[in-house]
């Protein structure tokens, strides 16, 4: 299938050949008929992409600060690599979509194959959309007009926040697509409307919809026009749908309001507000969030968890339905807003229109009736340069694969035959950038290919154990990014699968074992005659409680998902397994918001003692990882995997690297070599199980405030 992508670094618009998505539970698979290009939001994205690096930086000062913080902690080169990698990533465009149902995902009701549906899908021939972001198009509504549903819902949500009453006088500042839709909706609500814009064509359209109009900018005086419109009383409310850098629009909006008037911002304008504007009249100001309650709530949008109708009357989806009903009844007519219709194949020309043609307003893309539904796109037709042996399949094209795994595999010359992800643009991008053989959206293609020797898994934590088992059952070696499992039941499943295929390796991405500093530290600790005492402090950084890694069902929490790294490192340094775990987390508030601020004390079988401090409440300017190892009159301090310092150590003072190196490349090189040349697993399965159990025990210990002996706690359970 084909989809419109934008390359952020250059601004280039590409109609890319991508693997088609597969239907998922809670989703609809739609074959597109029409999509609408948003002349506001999408034009801003195109202009941002076409701007130079300096202009990009100036437009996003918050991002610049994040880059500077990262340079201080990780160094210049890794930071630049991260920035350019992000800019290289193609951005799917579009969010105003209409298509017919190809397949209905499990758990979805009310839809049948062939139904015409409006959604926030992208400019793609086939779109996979969560059901809460879909609404059935009623009979009599033209599909091209139905493509305005999502954009019109943005106007509707702004209007709902104004709470207009019959007979009120409302100014709409900015008569783009959203503003012109808002004019009609306010008129249908019984309001008198003043439309303000600098474009004469759009002023004429607003008049056609029943508005009084006034020129903005240098060509007119919107405040005077509003006073005349309101009989010198001031308008009851202003809906700002303009896109401009100036603060003057907000100042004029305040000036034209009556005492205790309301201003709602839907567009993007300068917000250096003047206090007197709002103080003297006691004005209220609110920013509208997209197309209604549920927006950016992952539980609503992705998991399909609806809000109770009686408490949240107008959600995103219910706003979609209201817009479509207004179209069906004739209360909303968007046909005059359609200025151009182009085939999907001419998408690049369509974006040139919205950027260069002042008359372009509603640009609709039309789609072919027959499309390619293959879940696979061949990217490389020849063998990779410098193969190391072993044919690999990568499942997961998220940040870890993009920033770490695929670059490392490319540097060692690994033969990656597949990159698989449900996100088709991400899969195609990684496969193309790193010269992989194929981009696919169907993981079964990877598991079932007899030529694949090993599968590298970098997906959501809740899928790790399942995919490891599938890889083993398919006769593949399995490399899984941590954690191995999120609970005892998953761990049992992995052990059962491993018992059935003892000739296949399981490797967990505990890369720090392979870091140069750790290799050297192990050499320095070799031959010790006493137990170690160790302190590892992770300045983990804040992640919102609603992030997927904090979700115990999807991510397992940050201790199981990330602190396992540090537990494994201490296991590696001692050469001994964890025997006891005692953990404590900060007090107050709920369990989920406390687990990422925890201190974990580990007792090892050889008598060593380790403490892992995992703290999410520190500064990003401070190093992320610090470790101290005390051994027989010596102390070794590792600063953020850039400098190892020895105190009291004969023949060793320090070891520094020009750049941070946490061992990823060495880890992947060792794994590929092991599966091709043979030998025992890089990490014994018993150690992987021990680290997993220690991570699970830390969560239990912190919750129940008790010390856990791993053998007594889990021995019987695992034996069964």
In tens, the pLDDT along 348-369 reads 999 988 888 888 999 999 999 9
123 C-beta neighbours (distance < 10 Å), count: 28
Examine domains 151-287 and 386-510 and report if their fold is the same.
yes
Minimal CA–CA distance to 222: which of 283, 260, 174?
174
Pick left, alpha or beta for residue 625 (phi over 0 → left; psi -120 to 50 → alpha; otherwise beta): beta
Could you tell me the two tokens for 109?
């009701």
Q: Residue 249 and residue 206: Cα distance in Å, rounded?
A: 19
Average pLDDT score over residue span 223-227? 96
pLDDT of residue 83 exceeding 70, the answer is: no
In tens, the pLDDT along 399-422 reads 999 999 999 999 999 999 999 999
Average pLDDT score over residue span 286-305? 92
pLDDT of residue 512 exceeding 70, the answer is: yes
For 346, half-sphere exposure in the C-beta direction (CA atoms, 13 angstrom radius) is 12
Least confident span in 359-368, 541-550, 602-611, 644-653: 541-550
- Would you say 714 and 698 are in contact if contact means Cβ atoms under 8 Å apart? no
Average pLDDT score over residue span 505-513? 97
Quick one: 386-510 is in which CATH superfamily?
Answer: NAD(P)-binding Rossmann-like Domain (3.40.50.720)
* Residue 571, C-beta contacts closer than 8 angstroms, at least 6 positions apart: 577, 578, 604, 687, 690, 691, 694
Helix and strand numbers (H, E) in the chain are: 26, 32
pLDDT bucket at 548, cuts 50 / 70 / 90: confident
Minimal CA–CA distance to 254: which of 229, 274, 272?
274
pLDDT bucket at 474, cuts 50 / 70 / 90: very high
Could you tell me the two tokens for 578?
């964890």
- Would you say 573 and 513 are in contact if contact means Cβ atoms under 8 Å apart? no
Could you tell me the two tokens for 322?
């209201």
Q: Residue 370 and residue 372: Cα distance in Å, rounded?
A: 7
- Would you say 627 and 613 are in contact if contact means Cβ atoms under 8 Å apart? no
Residue 101 φ/ψ, nearest 5 degrees: -70, 125
Element (H, E) at 611: strand 609-615
Average pLDDT score over residue span 502-527? 96
pLDDT of residue 132 exceeding 70, the answer is: yes
Question: If you compute the radius of gyration of the chain from its CA atoms, what whole number of angstroms results?
Answer: 29
Q: Give the burial class of 504: count Cβ atoms within 10 A of its Cβ; 0-12 exposed, 13-18 middle, 19 or more buried.
A: buried
Residue 388's pLDDT is 59
pLDDT of residue 516 exceeding 90, the answer is: yes
In tens, the pLDDT along 622-647 reads 889 999 999 999 999 999 999 999 99
pLDDT of residue 70 exceeding 60, the answer is: no
User: Any idea how long the chain is?
Assistant: 720
* Residue 588, C-beta contacts closer than 8 angstroms, at least 6 positions apart: 594
Q: Residue 211 and residue 197: Cα distance in Å, rounded?
A: 12
Q: Residue 79 and residue 109: Cα distance in Å, rounded?
A: 46
Residue 130 φ/ψ, nearest 5 degrees: -60, 145
Beta strands in 125-245 (DSSP E): 126-130, 134-136, 169-173, 192-197, 212-215, 235-240
pLDDT of residue 386 exceeding 80, the answer is: no
343 C-beta neighbours (distance < 10 Å), count: 12
Domain segments of the chain: what residues? 2-148+334-366, 151-287, 386-510, 512-719
pLDDT bucket at 56, cuts 50 / 70 / 90: very low
Percent of residues, the chain, with pLDDT higher than 70: 91
pLDDT bucket at 12, cuts 50 / 70 / 90: confident
Residue with tokens 């950016």: 296
Task: Encode 79-102 in three state secondary structure.
Answer: HHHHHHHHHHCEEECCCCEEEEEE
Residue 5's pLDDT is 94
Residue 243 DSSP label: B
Residue 707 φ/ψ, nearest 5 degrees: -85, 140
For 281, half-sphere exposure in the C-beta direction (CA atoms, 13 angstrom radius) is 23
454-457 and 477-480 beta bridge pairing:
parallel
DSSP 365-417: EE--S-----SEEE---SPPSS--S-EEEEE--SHHIIIIIHHHHHHTT-EEE
CATH value of 512-719 in 1.10.3720.10, 3.30.360.10, 3.40.50.2000, 3.90.1170.30: 3.30.360.10
CA 486 to chain centre: 22
Average pLDDT score over residue span 702-709? 95
Q: Which spans in 448-604 are helix H? A: 464-473, 488-500, 516-525, 558, 564-574
Q: Residue 335 and residue 566: Cα distance in Å, rounded?
A: 60
pLDDT of residue 720 exceeding 90, the answer is: no
- Alpha-carbon distances, residue 179 vs 154, 168, 176, 185, 355 (angstroms): 10, 17, 5, 10, 18
Q: Residue 31 and residue 344: Cα distance in Å, rounded?
A: 13
Cis link prior to 483 (omega < 30° from 0)?
yes
Q: Residue 505 and residue 674: Cα distance in Å, rounded?
A: 9
For 22, half-sphere exposure in the C-beta direction (CA atoms, 13 angstrom radius) is 15
Residue 653's pLDDT is 95
CATH number of 151-287: 3.40.50.720
Summarize the chain as % helix, strand, coil (round to 5): 40, 25, 35
- Would you say 215 and 197 are in contact if contact means Cβ atoms under 8 Å apart? yes
Least confident span in 170-184, 371-385, 427-441: 371-385
More confident residue, 76 or 243: 243
634-639 and 438-440 beta bridge pairing:
unpaired
Q: Output the pTM of the full model.
A: 0.88
- Alpha-carbon distances, residue 596 vs 450, 550, 561, 699, 708 (angstroms): 42, 9, 11, 10, 19
pLDDT bucket at 11, cuts 50 / 70 / 90: confident
For 274, half-sphere exposure in the C-beta direction (CA atoms, 13 angstrom radius) is 13
Q: Which spans in 615-706 are helix H? A: 664-677, 685-704
Residue 61's pLDDT is 63
607 C-beta neighbours (distance < 10 Å), count: 12
Q: Which residues pair with 262 in a beta bridge?
A: 237, 284
pLDDT bucket at 387, cuts 50 / 70 / 90: low
Q: Which fold has domain 2-148+334-366?
A: Quinone Oxidoreductase; Chain A, domain 1 (3.90.180)
Minimal CA–CA distance to 19: which of 443, 365, 372?
372
Residue 177's pLDDT is 95
Residue 482's pLDDT is 95
Could you tell me the two tokens for 349?
């020309």
């Amino acid at each position: 299938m084909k989809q419109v992508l934008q390359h952020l670094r250059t601004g280039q618009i590409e109609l890319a050949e991508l693997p088609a998505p597969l239907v998922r539970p809670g989703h609809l698979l739609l074959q597109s008929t029409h999509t609408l290009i948003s002349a506001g939001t999408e034009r801003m994205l195109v202009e941002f992409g076409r701007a130079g690096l300096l202009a990009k930086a100036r437009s996003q000062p918050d991002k610049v600060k994040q880059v500077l913080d990262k340079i201080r902690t990780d160094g210049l080169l890794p930071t630049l690599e991260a920035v350019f990698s992000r800019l290289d990533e193609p951005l799917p465009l579009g969010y105003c979509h209409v298509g017919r149902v190809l397949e209905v995902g499990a758990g979805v009701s009310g839809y049948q194959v062939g139904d015409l549906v409006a959604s926030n899908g992208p400019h793609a021939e086939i779109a996979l959309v969560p059901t809460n972001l879909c609404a059935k198009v009623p009979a009599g509504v033209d599909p091209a007009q139905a493509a305005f549903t999502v954009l019109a819902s943005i106007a509707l949500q702004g209007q709902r926040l104004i709470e207009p009453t019959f007979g009120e006088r409302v100014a709409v500042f900015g008569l783009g697509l959203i503003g012109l839709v808002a004019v009609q909706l306010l008129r249908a609500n019984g309001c008198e409307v003043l439309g303000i814009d600098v474009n004469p064509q759009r002023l004429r359209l607003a008049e056609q919809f029943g508005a009084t109009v006034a020129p903005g900018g240098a060509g007119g005086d919107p405040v005077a026009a509003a006073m005349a419109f309101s009989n010198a009383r001031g308008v009851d409310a202003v809906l700002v749908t303009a896109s401009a850098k100036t603060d003057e629009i907000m100042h004029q909006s305040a000036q034209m309001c009556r005492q205790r008037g309301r201003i709602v911002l839907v567009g993007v304008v300068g917000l250096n507000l003047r206090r007197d504007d709002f103080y003297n009249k006691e004005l209220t100001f609110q920013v509208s969030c997209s197309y209604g309650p549920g927006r950016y709530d992952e539980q609503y949008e992705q998991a399909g968890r609806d809000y109770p109708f009686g408490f949240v009357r107008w959600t995103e989806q219910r706003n979609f339905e209201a817009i479509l009903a207004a179209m069906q009844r004739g209360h909303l007519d968007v046909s005059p807003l359609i200025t151009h219709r182009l085939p999907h194949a001419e998408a690049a020309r369509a974006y040139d229109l919205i950027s260069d043609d002042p008359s372009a307003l509603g640009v609709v893309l039309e789609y072919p009736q027959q499309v390619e539904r293959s879940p696979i796109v061949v990217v490389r037709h020849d063998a990779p340069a410098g193969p190391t042996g072993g044919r690999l399949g990568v499942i997961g094209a998220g940040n870890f694969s993009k920033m770490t795994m695929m670059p490392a595999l490319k540097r060692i010359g690994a033969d990656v035959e597949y990159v698989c992800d449900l996100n088709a643009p991400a899969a195609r991008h990684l496969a193309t950038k790193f010269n992989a053989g194929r981009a696919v959206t169907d993981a079964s293609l990877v598991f079932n290919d007899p030529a694949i020797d090993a599968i590298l898994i970098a997906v959501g934590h809740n899928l790790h154990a399942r995919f490891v088992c599938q890889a083993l059952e398919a006769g593949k070696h399995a490399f899984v990014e941590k954690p191995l499992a999120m609970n005892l039941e998953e761990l049992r499943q992995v052990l059962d699968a491993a018992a059935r295929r003892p000739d296949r390796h399981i490797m967990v991405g505990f890369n720090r074992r392979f870091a140069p500093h750790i290799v050297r530290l192990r050499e320095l600790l070799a031959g010790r005659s006493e137990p170690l005492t160790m302190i590892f402090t992770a300045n983990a950084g804040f992640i919102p409680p609603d992030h997927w890694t904090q979700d115990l069902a999807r991510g397992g929490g940050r201790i199981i998902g990330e602190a396992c790294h540090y537990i494994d490192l201490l296991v590696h340094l001692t050469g001994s397994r964890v025997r006891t775990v005692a953990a404590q987390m900060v007090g107050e508030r709920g369990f989920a918001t406390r687990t990422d601020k925890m201190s974990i004390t580990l007792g090892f079988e050889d008598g060593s003692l380790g403490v892992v401090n995992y703290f999410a409440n520190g500064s990003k300017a401070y190093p992320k990882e610090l470790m101290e190892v005390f051994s027989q009159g010596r102390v070794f301090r590792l600063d953020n995997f850039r400098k190892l310092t020895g105190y009291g150590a004969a023949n060793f003072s320090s070891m520094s690297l020009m750049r941070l190196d946490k061992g990823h490349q060495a880890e992947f090189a060792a794994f590929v070599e092991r599966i091709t040349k043979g030998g025992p697993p890089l990490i014994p399965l018993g150690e992987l199980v021990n680290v997993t159990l220690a991570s699970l025990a830390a969560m239990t210990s912190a919750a129940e405030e008790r010390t856990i002996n791993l053998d007594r706690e889990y021995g019987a359970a695992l034996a069964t």
